[in-house]
């Protein structure tokens, strides 16, 4: 354990309301590529951009194309929680972590055992009929071909995720905002902090930190973020390596 991680662990141990905010980098060690990484969707040549293929417009106009892309690029049914997910679950179990706020849709935090997970972009672990609202089994979309249809009413079954062109779930976002406002330590892991409005939560924390000097921002991320200059701790290492050391 290097000195910076040791100091972060000490700050984490002393925090009364620690909150974690995570992005795609949390799941790369589980075999799920970062959208903006070397093998991510934004760096692979496609006929159309991911913004269209994963949009509400594509789902409405070209559902066959939407689901083909969604199954191929988004679903990772064999992915398992990595040491970072397991560490957060254990920190929560020990009463040292109050909540996990995630931009990811893979459901790995819950699979690791975390209880209070606020999903800003939904989860591909859940699906429902867009016509009658009936929830369906976890792997229904993955195990079907073509356009998945509701067995009750025949409506299109869609993933419970936020597509491009859709708003974030208001309840989850408001609860995440309250957690950030109450936090005395915000630990960011594996996020570029460039996706809005999720990143506005970190903006909110830094503004409040300017008024309350006891609030700490820690960032664990390989690449630079727009909030690096505000961070009390800045660690350029893998979250899968760093987070277990906080135990």
Give the active site residue among 85, 98, 109, 121: 121
Q: CA–CA separation, 47 vs 67, rounded Å?
A: 16
Residue 164: phi and psi, rounded to 5, are -60, 130
Give CA–CA dist 48/24, Å, rounded.
22
Known catalytic residue at 121: yes
The DSSP secondary structure of 187-220, one letter per residue, reads EEES--S-STTTTHHHHHHHHHHTT-TT-EEEEE
Q: 152 near 183, Cβ under 8 Å?
A: no
Pair 105, 166: CB distance under 8 Å: no
Distances in Å between the Cα of 106 and the Cα atoms of 21, 122, 124, 172 are 15, 9, 6, 16
Locate the DSSP E strands across the chain.
18-22, 99-102, 117-119, 122-129, 135-136, 157-161, 185-189, 216-220, 233-235
3-state secondary structure 67-106: HHHHHHHCCCCCCCCCHHHHHHHHHHHCCCCCEEEECCCC
Helix 170-182 to helix 200-209 angle, to the nearest 10 degrees? 20
Evaluate whether 184 touches 218 at the Cβ level (below 8 Å).
no
Give the residue numbers marked as catalytic.
121
């Amino acid at each position: 354990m290097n000195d910076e991680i040791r100091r972060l662990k000490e700050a984490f141990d002393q925090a009364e309301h620690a909150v974690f905010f995570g992005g795609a980098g949390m799941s790369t060690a589980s075999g799920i590529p970062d959208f903006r990484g070397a093998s991510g969707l934004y760096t692979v040549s496609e006929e159309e951009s991911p913004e269209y293929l994963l949009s509400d417009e594509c789902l409405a106009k070209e559902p066959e194309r939407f689901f083909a892309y969604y199954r191929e690029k988004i679903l990772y049914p064999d992915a398992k929680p990595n040491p970072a997910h397991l560490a957060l679950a254990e920190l929560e179990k020990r009463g040292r972590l109050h909540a996990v706020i995630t931009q990811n849709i893979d459901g790995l935090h819950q699979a690791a055992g975390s209880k209070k997970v606020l999903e800003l972009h939904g989860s591909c672990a859940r699906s429902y009929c867009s016509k009658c609202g009936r929830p369906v089994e976890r792997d229904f979309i993955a195990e079907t071909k073509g356009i998945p249809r509701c067995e009750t009413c025949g409506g299109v079954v869609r993933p419970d995720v936020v597509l491009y062109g859709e708003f974030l779930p208001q309840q989850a976002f408001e609860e995440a905002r309250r957690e950030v406002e109450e936090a005395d330590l915000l630990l960011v892991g594996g996020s570029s902090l460039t996706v809005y409005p999720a990143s506005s939560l970190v903006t909110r924390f830094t503004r409040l930190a300017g008024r309350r000097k006891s609030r700490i921002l820690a960032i664990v991320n390989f690449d630079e973020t727009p909030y690096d200059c505000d961070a009390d701790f800045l660690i350029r290492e893998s979250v899968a390596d760093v987070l277990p050391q906080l135990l």
